[in-house]
Amino acid sequence: MKAKRCPLAILLILSFLSISTAAATRKTQTRKPCKSMVFYFHDIIYNGRNAKNATSAIVGSPQWGNKTILAGQNHFGDLVVFDDPITLDNNLHSNPVGRAQGFYLYDKKEIFTAWLGFSFVFNSTRHKGSINFAGADPLMNKTRDISVIGGTGDFFMARGVATLMTDAFEGEVYFRLRTDIKLYECW
């Protein structure tokens, strides 16, 4: 009886080892992006004096804030909508290839952070359609990752990651974000 159980036990142990080895191998695989792109978007926030050039505005603010100057306490409670130009380089005056359209919400009192929801809407001969983004943006980090959650046109159903980096800023009126997009699902 013991002789019959031993081969069965060995067979079960070998099965478990092969399953765990296969699972470990799957976890270490790295996926390569099907498409990589870098864009810059330029945000000029309305400050009460720059209506002609502003590309974003505060549309919601806490009781202690107002809609022309970002609130204190790390801008907590401010909701900003934007329609920013997207360029292929870091020059604000370069020809735009599209618009970054959406909002950011400063969502924490203790630290400078925001939550983003926006789309890159392309209008160039090189790209047609849009890419949609959403996620937390811990602004004090040098680079931040947010999710690519879909798209249209050339980017239909796209999924991936966008790494944001604040490339430049001038006080509380202008900032430029470098957006390094890596798509892992392309149709």
Identify the sign of the CA torsion 67, 71, 77, 81.
positive
pLDDT digits (tens, 9 = 90+) for 35-74: 999 999 999 988 888 999 999 988 887 777 766 666 566 6
Asked whether 33 and 55 are in contact (CB, 8 A), the reply is no
Type and span of the H or E element at 20? helix 2-28
Amino acid occupying residue 80: V
Enumerate residues 6+ apart whose C-beta is below 8 A from 89.
40
pLDDT of res. 91: 95
pLDDT of res. 8: 59
pLDDT of res. 109: 73
pLDDT of res. 186: 86
Dump the DSSP string for 75-87.
Answer: HTT-EEEEEEEEE
pLDDT of res. 73: 64
Q: Which of 171-187 are b and which e, b meaning 16 or more Cβ less than 10 Å from the residue's Cβ?
A: eebbbbbbbebbbeeee
pLDDT of res. 32: 92
Residue spans of the chain under pLDDT 50 = none
Q: In whole angstroms, what is the distance from residue 62 CA to residue 73 CA?
A: 11
| Mean pLDDT score of the chain | 84
pLDDT of res. 34: 92
pLDDT of res. 76: 74
**In which residue are the tokens 């000029």 written?**
44
